[in-house]
Chain A
């Protein structure tokens, strides 16, 4: 890059030009109100995310009655903590136990529980994960560093219709003295997808 280029904004890529074109045309037609894009992006970047799911998990670990409600009606129990909305209207929570390890996938597209986990990470939406998690789940989990015991049943949940899934991970040993907020800090996004154990 010569010194003259350094003072010019980088040229837009073709896809950036297409985004700008669609945005300009929709704005001229009154379909993109002032601040709409910024507000939408802010919502996705800061209101939803795995920190919400972690609160649900920590509550279930510390309140047996809540856990019972969560497993019986995920949508209603998650709403008790204030989370819900698009891609979270029909929640089913699946519990990991010593006998069962659950993992979620969407083989057809990218279905994912937005209110509790946020928007899905790129690898969850890419063909390798979508194809291999149903074809060879144990091998793929091991590759991702997750090795449930051989005798543990692996249950894969393909969210191909309206239900969205959340995995309730097992509470790690040695955490008896922790508060609910401290426990929430231990819960990772991957443990709630089921590609990691805590």
Chain B
């Protein structure tokens, strides 16, 4: 997304703007302690919010909605419980968008790429959760750092268990990303191996 206006920057501010934000933040941890979600599952629970609700609600309302959604999906409570207690509608996130992964596949072995290798990000638009930002898809960059193996979010967010894979920091020159990208500007993006192919 682009076309946004000024950043509403403040040099310092309270950690929580309202007391309910602090409570919502702590409730995420209470739910997480009970259901042990992966990072991918939690982030996807936010991404699955109805777009209108997502765009018109604040950051901690996203977290509250994700916490309640995970609590319902893991059977801790029901939507009816929530609405009865809240005395009104309690919007939850929609269903998981990606196809359910039943077999996470074999763990990836040794890293396929090394520092200095040219790589292209796969032009790939899977449904559901991914940590491959759209703005680098199809773009070519250079591996600048290997960061070890971590579970692929696209697998773990879709019920597939864990499949660790090497991750890389890839450097893209701004001119590669944008038609008016300036020289002397680059963006580094951290990417899982299956997002990449040799360039």
The answer to whether A binds B is yes
Chain A interface residues toward B at CB < 8 A: 13-26, 29, 31-32, 36-37, 40-41, 44-45, 49, 90, 92, 107-110, 118-119, 121-123, 125-129, 131-132, 134-135, 137-138, 140, 143-144, 150-163, 188-190, 195
Given contacts A32-B27, A122-B13, A153-B184, contact A41 B34 (CB under 8 A): no
Question: CA A160 – CA B22 in complex, angstroms?
Answer: 25
Question: A19 CB to closest chain B CB, in angstroms?
Answer: 5
Decide: B186 and A153 in contact? CB cutoff 8 A.
Answer: yes
- A-contacting 9-mer, from B84-92, B96-104, B110-118, B155-163: B84-92
Decide: B131 and A157 in contact? CB cutoff 8 A.
Answer: no
Decide: B7 and A140 in contact? CB cutoff 8 A.
Answer: yes
Whether B185 is near chain A, meaning CB under 8 Å from some CB there, is yes
Question: B150 CB to closest chain A CB, in angstroms?
Answer: 5
Given contacts A15-B64, A161-B167, contact A143 B30 (CB under 8 A): no
Question: B143 CB to closest chain A CB, in angstroms?
Answer: 13
Whether B52 is near chain A, meaning CB under 8 Å from some CB there, is no
Decide: A156 and B25 in contact? CB cutoff 8 A.
Answer: no
Decide: A22 and B67 in contact? CB cutoff 8 A.
Answer: yes
Question: CA A44 – CA B186 in complex, angstroms?
Answer: 33
Point out the residues of chain B lying under 8 angstroms from A121, CB to CB: 10, 13
Question: A148 CB to closest chain B CB, in angstroms?
Answer: 10
Given contacts A29-B76, A131-B4, A134-B177, contact A153 B24 (CB under 8 A): no
Question: A121 CB to closest chain B CB, in angstroms?
Answer: 6
Whether B50 is near chain A, meaning CB under 8 Å from some CB there, is no
11 additional A-B residue pairs with CB within 8 Å, beyond A137-B185, A156-B185:
A21-B87, A26-B30, A31-B30, A37-B22, A107-B135, A122-B10, A128-B8, A131-B4, A135-B178, A154-B184, A160-B133
Quick one: which of A22, A107, A118, A162 contacts B133, CB cutoff 8 A? A107
Question: CA A189 – CA B87 in complex, angstroms?
Answer: 41
Given contacts A17-B86, A19-B64, A134-B177, contact A155 B26 (CB under 8 A): no
Question: CA A131 – CA B86 in complex, angstroms?
Answer: 35
Whether B1 is near chain A, meaning CB under 8 Å from some CB there, is yes
Point out the residues of chain A lying under 8 angstroms from B133, CB to CB: 107-108, 158, 160
Decide: B184 and A31 in contact? CB cutoff 8 A.
Answer: no
Quick one: which of A16, A36, A118 contacts B26, CB cutoff 8 A? A36
Point out the residues of chain A lying under 8 angstroms from B178, CB to CB: 135
Question: CA A36 – CA B31 in complex, angstroms?
Answer: 12
Q: Which residues, 66 to 112 on B, are CB-close (under 8 Å) to A?
A: 67-68, 71, 76-77, 81-82, 85-88, 90
Decide: B131 and A32 in contact? CB cutoff 8 A.
Answer: no
Q: Which residues, 123 to 141 on B, are CB-close (under 8 Å) to A?
A: 131-133, 135
Point out the residues of chain A lying under 8 angstroms from B4, CB to CB: 127-128, 131-132
Task: Please list the 5 inter-chain residue pairs (A to B) with the smallest Cβ-Cβ separation, ordered nearest first.
Answer: A161-B190, A21-B85, A128-B4, A21-B86, A40-B26
Decide: A29 and B77 in contact? CB cutoff 8 A.
Answer: yes
Whether B61 is near chain A, meaning CB under 8 Å from some CB there, is yes
Q: Which residues, 1 to 49 on B, are CB-close (under 8 Å) to A?
A: 1-2, 4-13, 15-17, 20, 22-27, 29-31, 33-34, 43, 46
Q: Considering the complex, give the chain A residue whose CB is closest to the CB of B33.
A: A31
